[in-house]
């Protein structure tokens, strides 16, 4: 199983290296990564992400391979951030999702298994949003035509209504499932040690919990250098103040 995982990683590196639009440095970094020179590869990936063409919109391939290099270098926390950023740019990427799951497990963190993640494994959110909208409007156009015809067939009218519901429903579902919709309010704890939650935005504030490095948090409010955050969901969610230098926003470099 270990060798199979390595083979899949190398295959993913090969596939991404031949994609059009990526500079030669990307192929060079992939070669270093495949040969075990993770530090050299990581340095090149970081440089590539400062290029104007990638700094503005990011690159799912580069972030994914950067995560692989960080894993090889032993920095699982940084790798979790890179894999999450790769998934923001390409939510349907199976390799990035698999590697993120492995990374979170290595950090002792739970692997997301909500309906959103399962939906994105089947269809890309953009496919659902655009495709669903197109199908929905086709159904709406067909309904208008049927309503103005002299011989109205109830079966066809019902079918058009079903198409409208399914199409626009899929579009709404894709919008809700798209992780980019809420990413602007999310961050990853990148401090090397656990982060203490405070009841007030001060180092002297009462402790209200502790979060592990690599944890995905939601930023609820800000007060200077302090963030009021939430981690987890439901009754097990933790909330409190943390210093902003202990976490990195998901979208800060994408």
Q: What is the pLDDT of residues 60-80, one digit of tens each?
A: 999 999 999 999 999 999 999
Res 82: pLDDT? 96
Please give the Cα distance from 107 to 100 (Å, whole number): 11
Please give the Cα distance from 27 to 18 (Å, whole number): 8
Question: Same structural domain for residues 232 and 142?
Answer: no
CB atoms closer than 10 angstroms to residue 158: 12
Question: Same structural domain for residues 208 and 125?
Answer: no
CB 207 within 8 A of CB 198: yes
pLDDT in tens, 99-133: 999 999 999 998 876 666 667 667 777 888 889 99
Question: In the structure, what pLDDT confidence band is assigned to residue 19 with cuts at 50, 70 and 90?
Answer: very low
Residue 17 clears pLDDT 50, i.e. is over it: no
Residue with tokens 């402790």: 207
Residue 211 clears pLDDT 70, i.e. is over it: yes
Tell me the HSE value of 87 on the side-chain side, using a 13 A CA sphere.
Answer: 26
Domain that holds residue 234: 183-249
Residue at a domain's end among 157, 179, 201: 179
Number of domains making up the chain: 3
Question: Same structural domain for residues 73 and 95?
Answer: yes
Question: Same structural domain for residues 7 and 69?
Answer: yes
Question: Same structural domain for residues 72 and 126?
Answer: no
Please give the Cα distance from 52 to 58 (Å, whole number): 9
As separate numbers, helices (DSSP H) first and strands (DSSP E) second, the chain gives 10, 7
Q: What is the pTM of this model?
A: 0.75
Per-residue tokens: 142: 């067909």
Higher pLDDT, 157 or 1: 157
Higher pLDDT, 209 or 58: 209
Res 14: pLDDT? 47
Please give the Cα distance from 54 to 246 (Å, whole number): 25
Residue with tokens 């199979």: 4
Residue at a domain's end among 162, 179, 196: 179
Any idea what DSSP says for residue 199?
A: S
Residue 187 lies in a domain: yes
Res 115: pLDDT? 66
Res 181: pLDDT? 76
pLDDT in tens, 28-66: 999 999 999 999 999 999 999 988 878 777 889 999 999
In 148-234, alpha helices (H): 154-177
């Amino acid at each position: 199983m270990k060798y199979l995982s390595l083979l899949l990683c190398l295959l993913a590196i090969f596939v991404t290296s031949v994609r059009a639009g990526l500079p030669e440095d990307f192929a060079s970094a992939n070669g270093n990564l495949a040969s075990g020179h993770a530090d050299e590869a990581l340095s090149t990936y970081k440089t590539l992400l400062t290029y104007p063409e990638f700094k503005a919109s990011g690159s799912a391939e580069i972030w994914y391979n950067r995560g692989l290099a960080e894993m090889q270098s032993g920095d699982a926390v940084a790798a979790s951030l890179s894999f999450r950023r790769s998934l923001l740019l390409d939510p349907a990427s199976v390799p990035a999702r698999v590697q993120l799951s492995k990374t979170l497990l290595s950090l002792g963190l739970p692997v997301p298994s909500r309906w959103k993640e399962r939906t994105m494994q089947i269809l890309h959110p953009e496919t659902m949003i655009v495709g669903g909208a197109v199908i929905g409007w086709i159904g709406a156009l067909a309904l208008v035509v049927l309503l103005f015809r002299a011989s109205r067939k109830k079966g066809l009218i019902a079918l058009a209504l079903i198409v409208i519901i399914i199409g626009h429903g899929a579009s709404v579902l894709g919008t809700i499932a798209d992780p980019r919709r809420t990413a602007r309010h999310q961050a990853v704890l990148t401090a090397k040690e656990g982060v203490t939650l405070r009841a007030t935005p001060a180092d002297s504030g009462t402790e209200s919990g502790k979060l592990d490095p690599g944890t995905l948090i939601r930023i609820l409010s800000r007060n200077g250098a302090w963030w009021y955050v939430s981690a987890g969901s439901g009754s097990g969610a933790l909330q409190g103040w943390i210093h902003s230098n202990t976490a990195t926003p998901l979208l800060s470099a994408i």
